């Protein structure tokens, strides 16, 4: 894949497909990690004299403008991070976009409105996607792909647009791909994987592929209760995917056969109801119980203190760690201790540590950890998982052409 250094960008209109899909609350950005991650690429292009057109999606609008998913707040924050004015086009390929791009001088930057406000961005029909890609191509001379969190999507700005313009990868994608190669091709052992999050079904492909690569797989979060149920334990009203139990049993057997150690919680923090994440009010019936003794009327919401010690011990000698998914409801202080313990164990380790995007990356920042102390914090949870599953990612394939 070509890099920015392979392009002559001075005086050219450079379309940067970024991933600025940041969480918003009442119009305010609650985690600007993805904006900060792409800023170095934009800065490099501006310093080289490019006219930079940044584009991204945000949320899942239904192919038409929706004010709650506007990128306007992102334009403001991007300008603060770049310490430079960022003009904002109020549409994607309409009159505002054309006028805003036409007004750019060398070394200036604009942000287009949410790409998913146009149905062509996510259309399954090749012709509809292609028509939108043609319109986007009309705004630019060159294309730089740097939205790693979207490269697993066959969308117009990710897959179709690079075929219409001379293109290269941005520094963020180049870094992300290099890290993932270290997790798949150049692994230092022991290689320990921590998987959390709510559903086993979200991680089936990556577990299947890691059974031939990882030395240990630590299971936490809501998905742990399907594993515990597969072993015959009562899990109360905890999150459970009964249809995944046969798959889990198969993985446990394959793990034994392949010498891959599965590590499950030995105790859990429970409550009779899901905590209120708006008020963060204390939970009246908070308790810690053994993982094989969850009461029938209780829900497991975090790994317990013995599990935290166990997970830390299983991470202590690692040389490579990949972590995707919190191991508890980290947004509530009473159920954040497990996720804190995993993050701290990564920091205490001598391993090359990769936090695999999504909620785990958000947890690192929200819980107050210094993200620079980790080996790498990915900007793309879904893209990272699909890469580790061995899938071809459409956005990367398009940039290789």
Which residue numbers are catalytic?
Answer: 34, 199, 358, 382
The response to whether 203 counts as a known ligand-binding position is yes
198 φ/ψ angles, rounded to the nearest 5 degrees: -85, -40
Three-class secondary structure of residue 95 per DSSP? helix
Check: CB of residue 201 under 8 Å from CB of residue 260. Answer: no
Q: Is 263 helix (H, G, I), strand (E, B) or coil?
A: strand
Whether 153 has a binding-site annotation, put simply, is: yes
Name 8's Cβ contacts closer than 8 Å, sequence gap at least 6: none
Residue ranges of alpha helices (H) inside 157-244 are 171-184, 204-210, 224-230
Which pair of structure tokens corresponds to residue 357? 């995007």
Residue 37's closest CA among 16, 13, 51, 14? Answer: 16
34 among annotated binding-site residues:
yes
Confirm whether residue 231 is marked as ligand binding. no
Report the distance separating Cα 274 and Cα 250, nearest Å. 30
> Is 126 assigned a ligand-binding role in the annotation?
no
- Is 20 annotated to bind ligand? yes
Q: Cα 93 from chain centroid?
A: 27
Q: Is 59 annotated as a binding residue?
A: yes
- The residue behind tokens 């893209």 is 383
**Vertex 330 angle, CA 326 and 332, to 5°:** 160
Distances (CA, A) of 323 to 36, 114, 326, 364, 381: 21, 30, 8, 11, 10
Per this entry, what is the length of the chain? Answer: 401
79 is in an annotated binding site: no
Question: Does residue 360 have a known ligand-binding role?
Answer: yes
Question: Angle at the Cα of 132 (from 127 to 136), degrees rounded to 5?
Answer: 140
Q: 3-class SS at 134?
A: helix
Q: Is 95 annotated as a binding residue?
A: no
Asked whether residue 129 is marked as a ligand-binding residue, the answer is no
Binding site residue list for substrate: 19-21, 34, 57-60, 116, 153
Binding site residue list: 19-21, 34, 57-60, 116, 153, 203, 300, 331, 357-360
Binding site residue list for ATP: 203, 300, 331, 357-360
């Amino acid at each position: 894949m070509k890099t920015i250094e392979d392009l002559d960008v001075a005086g050219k209109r450079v379309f940067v497909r970024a991933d600025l899909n940041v969480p918003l609350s009442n119009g305010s950005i609650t985690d600007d990690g993805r904006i900060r991650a792409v800023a170095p690429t934009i800065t490099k292009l501006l310093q080289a004299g490019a006219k930079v057109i940044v584009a991204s999606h945000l949320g899942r609008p239904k192919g038409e403008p929706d004010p709650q998913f506007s990128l306007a707040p992102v334009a403001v924050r991007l300008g603060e991070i770049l310490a430079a004015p960022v003009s904002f086009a109020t549409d994607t390929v309409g009159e505002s976009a054309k006028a805003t791009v036409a007004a750019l001088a060398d070394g200036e930057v604009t942000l287009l409105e949410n790409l998913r406000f146009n149905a062509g961005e996510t259309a399954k029909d090749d012709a509809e996607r292609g028509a939108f890609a043609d319109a986007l191509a009309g705004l630019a001379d060159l294309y730089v792909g740097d939205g790693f969190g979207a490269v697993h999507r066959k969308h117009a700005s990710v897959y179709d647009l690079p075929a219409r313009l001379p293109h290269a990868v941005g520094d963020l994608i180049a870094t992300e791909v290099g890290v993932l190669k270290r997790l798949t091709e150049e692994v230092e052992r022991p290689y320990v994987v921590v998987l959390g999050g709510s559903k086993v079904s979200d991680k089936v492909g990556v577990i299947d592929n890691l059974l031939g690569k990882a030395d240990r797989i630590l299971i936490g979060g809501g998905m742990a209760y399907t594993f515990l149920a597969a072993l015959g334990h009562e899990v109360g009203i905890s999150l459970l995917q009964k249809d995944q139990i046969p798959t889990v049993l198969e993985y446990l057997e394959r793990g034994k056969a392949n010498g891959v150690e599965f590590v499950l919680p030995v105790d859990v923090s429970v409550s009779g109801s899901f905590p209120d994440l708006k008020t963060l009010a204390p939970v009246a019936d908070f308790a810690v119980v053994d993982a094989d003794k969850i009461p029938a009327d209780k829900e497991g919401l975090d790994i317990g203190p013995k599990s935290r010690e166990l997970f830390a011990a299983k991470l202590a000698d690692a040389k490579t760690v990949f972590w995707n998914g919190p191991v508890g409801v980290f947004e509530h202080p009473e159920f954040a201790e497990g996720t804190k313990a995993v993050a701290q164990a990564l920091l205490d380790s001598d391993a090359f540590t990769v936090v695999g995007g999504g909620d785990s990356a958000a947890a690192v920042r929200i819980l107050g950890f210094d993200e620079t102390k980790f080996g790498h914090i990915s900007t793309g949870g879904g893209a990272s998982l699909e890469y580790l599953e061995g899938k071809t990612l459409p956005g990367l394939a398009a940039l290789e052409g």
